[in-house]
Amino acid sequence: MKSSIIFLLFFGLLTSSYSQKKPQKEEGKIDVISLPEIVIKKAGADFSVYIPDKNPDSNIKRIEEKFIAYDLGKDNEGYDEYLLVMQIKKGTLAATYDEKGKLIRVVENYKNVILPSQVIYSVYKKFPGWKIVNDKFLYTQEEGDIIKKQYNLKIKKNKDVRRLTVRPNGEIVKGL
């Protein structure tokens, strides 16, 4: 009797846990968590603002974290502009500071990175049977404003080769 009550109780809890309905996503859409911009430091009355990218490649995230943690200190004293360059195997991050230590510009250039699923989905949807053989990611900011954020892709099918420019949301800008 005791074991049958435990069995019914267990079975009742098990079936109620599967009764919850999960919301359906649109095809090709992925939930993206928006990250806030980061104020690196205050330079006088101005703020140095850097907006990290939401790229899925861990190498890019790692170099951006190192850049955010970098302390300019007194390295820029005596210069009108100060250039900081950080390199990894896949690319570079170059930042320009003014004489007060305010971040003016950041240019990131990477190759052969892990592409966002929206980019992959849109390319393979528009070009079925083609393969992505080469990619570059360009990300440019000036004083906290994103100027350029795009993927330059090289796709191939048999002996045909095309070059595409794709935005991170999957919109193909050039190469159709």
Q: Encode pLDDT of 143-168 as tens digits.
A: 888 899 999 999 999 889 999 999 99
pLDDT above 80 (res 141): yes
Closest CA to 163 of 173, 147, 91: 173
Q: Residues 128-153: what's their mean pLDDT?
A: 91
Cβ pair 7, 17 in contact under 8 A: no
The verdict on pTM exceeding 0.95 is no
Q: Residues 67-94: what's their mean pLDDT?
A: 84
Beta-strand runs (E) in 22-130: 38-43, 46-50, 81-88, 91-98, 103-111
Q: Encode pLDDT of 88-128 as tens digits.
A: 998 999 999 888 888 899 999 999 999 998 999 999 999 99
